[in-house]
Amino acid sequence: MKGISVILATLNRTDFLKQTLACLVVQKFEHPFEILIVDQSLKEDVLIKEYSEKFDFIKYYFVESFRGLPEARNFGWQQSTYDYILYLDDDITCENNLLKEHYKFLQNPKIGIVAGGITEKNNPNKDEKIGCFNYLKAEPIAGFHKKGAFKVTHAKGCNFSTKKELLEKVNGIDEHLTKGAALYEELDFCLRVKEIDCQVFFNSEAHVFHLAAETGGCRVPDINKYIYSLVRNRSFIIARHLKWYYKITAHLYLLKLVLAYAVSYKNIHLFSQYVQARIEGAKLGCEKVKLSCYEK
């Protein structure tokens, strides 16, 4: 059915989510849309639930059967009504043309993903190539704060849209990438979509301001756990998407990155995290995409 289903995965961010919802309920969009909130907090968010009940196009789901961003995103699109899926973080604000600008390019049959514009709070938003992927380092490059409308390699998780039929075709967001900090799950999805000759298209006018909440969501304050997630998921990307000659340089860069963290935090134990995480990530990167089926 023509329209957009907005998926908001959330975890312990009531105040930020209220701001996000306030921006979404006033969208000027000629087609129908719905907002699906997938709440993985420790307890049901009464304030958000009560707010949701004021609008017939907001659906609130409190889930306890899983915990993870990829799972929440897969759960969301499997519950959705409309043909197009828009993924947003629970700590963004936007203008009332966000849905319209995503929809504009989603109608193109050659485009599988629309990467929206993003301005990050407390981020230098430095001058860099937009939506590129450095194969030598297995490192995504953002630059989504800049202006333009053109093909890119990847989108950023806090603001991108896609087609439900495409999620079904490539088995959704890989739930192997759910452990610890949510890292690279949208990058993996974009690279898999490009493998079937669908474009990732950047539209800066589909813009959000990312408030980057310091707590809640996928934040992992423990440096050991963060490094484990970083190395595990980066090794996953290297194993699944890189040619053998890029794998060499990418792993060297990853080791250098961990060394920098170890020196900065004066934590030699990060190297043991590195070894275990690299083995696990490389193994999972060779497996099939993991997608759970969630009852509607």
281 Cβ neighbours under 8 A, 6+ residues apart: 231, 232, 233, 234, 235, 236, 238, 239
pTM: 0.95
- Look at residue 38 in the predicted model and tell me its pLDDT: 98
Report residues of the chain scoring pLDDT below 50: 217-218
Please report the pLDDT score of residue 219 as a whole number.
52
pLDDT reported for residue 213:
63
Sign of the CA dihedral 274, 278, 280, 284?
Answer: positive
Cα–Cα distance for residue pair 125/123, rounded to 1 Å: 5
Nearest CA to 98 among 19, 56, 161, 149?
A: 161
**Confidence at residue 295, expressed as pLDDT on a 0 to 100 scale:** 85
Rg, Å, the chain Cα set: 19
Angle at which helix 270-284 crosses helix 244-265, to 10 degrees, equals 150
Can you give the pLDDT at residue 102?
98
Residue 106 contacts residue 114 (beta carbons within 8 Å): yes
